[in-house]
Structure 1
């Protein structure tokens, strides 16, 4: 198997997006999958602890059974698959703006596509999370308007101040967070991933829309730097 292979490259509304697979011999016998938007790295299968923690921490804060859950941002599928490990999940809607990324999973070009496709609780939604989030009269589910959810788990932007696309910046306001919160059931949870340490200004913003805001540092090993790195998961209710 070659040490590097580009599996797919396509144009998208926000730029050229590519899926690559590589092997780094010093890291052992494993395939590493990467997603790039132009020259920018969006996701690597080397660093998934925080993406998985987004689901485990977010759903741990939810009470009850038969949970209906939204994941904003498909990526390489780690947040979605981790959510489905919770047997209480009744249905998972995974919303992604990029039809190409959904296609990679449906066609099983990425390893977790097979897992997601085999689980009848999973449903892909092609659309803009940010547009759907601020339209509670329509909501996330095209088959059921104004549907409410037990948890909304967001992993799209790099952080609340570093955006995948500049158009996403307008989402982070009290008004829009409150509109999104209207799509949660009573005691529902909103959780969000960030690559940066907790940001006090964002915690204050979240507190303007939610009663409780908890910020969790997630540690993971970075073999390139030979040290522990951290991401943040915000959990709000």
Structure 2
């Protein structure tokens, strides 16, 4: 094994082989870079986390009040979850992931942010399909409190509203299923979603069929492989206060 690369773990999953790797790139300095791959596809790198963190900060900035009940859909390397917990108003965070292996990496602290998440009593991992739980408002996301109402749902699973980690996820992006998810939000609650692409006007129009307000934010970050900036997007939507 090269000192510049290590495969920490690799496990089968319902979506294919998922692996956690650590590497060093000398030109980028003395730091470990963690990566998650699904088959041959890169899912996440600790090099590029600005937009994942912005998903939490931009979404929670639109929440009113305190003692916030928050769901993060998609654990990844934990950056969205940790950014959410940095908001002192968050009383409880449920982090939902369909891949038990990814939750296990955090519980075993094989990834750097696992220790932070495990040490915060507000955080709880939920093993399950975000999309199944989102569209079942009678039961909802919290297995201990069926039908719990939430202040914010922060989603980072698919690459974009039209590029899916799993083809079955496509059915979520409809007025009917987004509305089922919105039933789990309190009046004035927030739904925010990450995308690797620039804002999509058609998706913005779809979101407006469910939510009272829809804003799209472009998040820029330096990409050393391009010697310039790259961009992701965060959609932030608010439910009406009437219900």
Give the TM-score taking structure 2 as reference length: 0.97
Secondary structure class of the residue paired with 1:100: helix
Secondary structure class of the residue paired with 1:124: strand
The alpha carbon displacement at 1:200 in A equals: 0.4
Aligned residues: 237
Secondary structure class of the residue paired with 1:43: strand
C-alpha distance in 2 between matches for 1:209 and 1:65: 24
Which consecutive unaligned segments of at least 5 residues does structure 2 have? 239-243
Secondary structure class of the residue paired with 2:101: helix
Residues 26-105 of structure 1: matches in 2 within 5 Å? 26-105=27-106
Secondary structure class of the residue paired with 2:171: helix
C-alpha distance in 2 between matches for 1:2 and 1:85: 33
Q: Which residue of 2 aligns with 1:207?
A: 208
Which contiguous aligned blocks of 4+ residues in structure 1 show a shift greater than 4 angstroms?
Answer: none
The alpha carbon displacement at 1:166 in A equals: 0.5
The alpha carbon displacement at 1:152 in A equals: 0.2
The alpha carbon displacement at 1:32 in A equals: 0.1
C-alpha distance in 2 between matches for 1:209 and 1:227: 36
1:70-109 deviations in whole A, cap 9, x for unaligned?
0000000000000000000000000000000000000000
C-alpha distance in 2 between matches for 1:117 and 1:69: 17
Q: Which residue of 1 aligns with 2:178?
A: 177
Give the TM-score taking structure 1 as reference length: 0.99
Q: Which residue of 2 aligns with 1:142?
A: 143
1:98-124 deviations in whole A, cap 9, x for unaligned?
000000000000000000000000000
The alpha carbon displacement at 1:4 in A equals: 0.1
